[in-house]
Structure 1
Amino acid sequence: MEILPGKKVVLFDGVCNLCNTWVQRILKREKGDVFLLASLQSQEAESLMRARGIDTEKVDSIILIDPGVAYYLKSDAALEIARHLKGYRWLPPLLGWIPRSIRDVVYDFIARNRYKWYGKRESCMLPSPETANKFLDASR
């Protein structure tokens, strides 16, 4: 699957309420129209992960694909996304100095408990007509 030039793709758990809350924040606070979005449950996400050798059985939370660079997982993905969000750009300088292994322990703890704490949807969210062009699985 080809990604549009200058775009980064956020892959997220489409049935997770916490993840969907953050997708809404991305849509509202994104600076510069950088991101496209796709749920991990979509064929588009599966294709993007397979092309990069990401084990779809082991990754069930956020992934950021930056076509010219690489991909980011877990806390690295969250911090890289925050760089492009109004009101959240202070997070990478504040938390980026913490070793990834420590950040990912916290990230994994939240990820493991996200359904228990925030709930789970029966199906992936459907984008509104106004935001459909931001979703790979809705617009292409």
Structure 2
Amino acid sequence: MVVRKTKDAAGNFSIMLFDGVCNFCSGSVLFSLKRLDNPGVRFCPMQSPAGQAVLKKLGFSLTDYETFIFIEEGKVYTKSEAVILLGKNLKRPWPVVAGLVELFPKNLLDWFYIRVARHRYKIMGRKKECLVPGPEIMKFFILK
């Protein structure tokens, strides 16, 4: 996969949709933000008005948030592919780690991803409300 380092020619950002009430998912987003190497990536909680609009447009469930969804240059990536692509947008060593993970068969990676996704609330719990970004990271979020 080729990773862009800015917005695409149309001025669009890459977007990572995530479960905004999941502590595991929100923690992954905050982890990524600290290591982000691509100013063209934005994050969007699936429960937000913007997230719901994107899910509807793409034909995804409006209530089932069991996969990260990464949208880049009009292409939609889910499950392990979404995580790998996000990893390639982070600072070193994460693109290398993502590349190594990508060597494993996709069906095996997705099998593992699905198991973690199904138990994500048991692993790290959930919030009553979506992650609310602070002012220093708000520019990386799409909420409305």
TM-score range, shorter chain: 0.7 to 0.9
Which residue, out of 87, 90, 102, partners 1:85? 90
Which residue, out of 46, 50, 60, partners 1:54? 60
The secondary structure found in structure 1 opposite 2:42 is: strand
Aligned equivalents of 1:70, 1:54: Cα separation in 2: 14
Structure 1 segments, 4+ long, off by >6 Å, are: none
1:124 corresponds in structure 2 to 130
The secondary structure found in structure 2 opposite 1:136 is: coil
How far 1:6 moved relative to its partner? 4.8
> Alpha carbons of 1:57 and 1:129: their partners in 2 closer, same or farther (altered >3 Å)?
closer
Aligned equivalents of 2:38, 2:88: Cα separation in 1: 11
Q: What is the TM-score normalised by the length of structure 1?
A: 0.87
Which residue, out of 57, 61, 80, partners 1:75? 80
Aligned equivalents of 1:59, 1:115: Cα separation in 2: 12
The secondary structure found in structure 2 opposite 1:101 is: helix
Deviations along 1:72-131, whole A, 9 cap, x unmatched? 101000000000111311123212122211111100111111111111111111110111
> What aligned pairs does 1:87-106 form with structure 2 within 5 A after superposition?
87-106=93-112
Aligned equivalents of 1:92, 1:40: Cα separation in 2: 24
Q: What is the TM-score normalised by the length of structure 2?
A: 0.85
Aligned equivalents of 1:59, 1:128: Cα separation in 2: 23
- What RMSD, in angstroms, separates the aligned Cα atoms of the two structures? 1.9
Contact 1:40 1:60 in 2 (8 A): no
The secondary structure found in structure 1 opposite 2:76 is: strand
Please tell me whether residue 21 in structure 1 is matched to residue 24 in structure 2. Answer: no
Structure 1 unaligned regions, length at least 5? none
Structure 2 unaligned regions, length at least 5? 1-7
Q: Percent identity?
A: 28
